[in-house]
Amino acid sequence: HNILLVTNDHVETLKKMADNTVTVSAIDRSTVKINGKMGVDRGMALLAMSVGDEYQHSTNNNDLEFFRSVEFSKNGGILNVAVFA
């Protein structure tokens, strides 16, 4: 399955990197927004995203760039940990 849960400080960076975005409302989970299209049936979206058992993720420079841009930003986690450690 291709599931990714993120905190708010990662959302904008991930949106820029993503080919597709899926937004689920905390209030009405029966429909989702996919690439800006509102009202997509949640069951259909989950089925469409669950196909692809042959997917193999391999680490590349995009992963490293995402880590660097988020964790070393002014709101990043690593710098905050270093300050409080």
Task: Tally Cβ neighbours within 10 Å of residue 24.
Answer: 12
Q: Is the pTM of this model over 0.85?
A: no
With 70 as the cut, is the pLDDT of residue 57 above it?
no
Strand arrangement, sheet containing 31-34:
22-24, 31-34, 37-41
pLDDT, tens digit (0-9, with 9 covering 90-100), for 19-30: 888 888 888 889
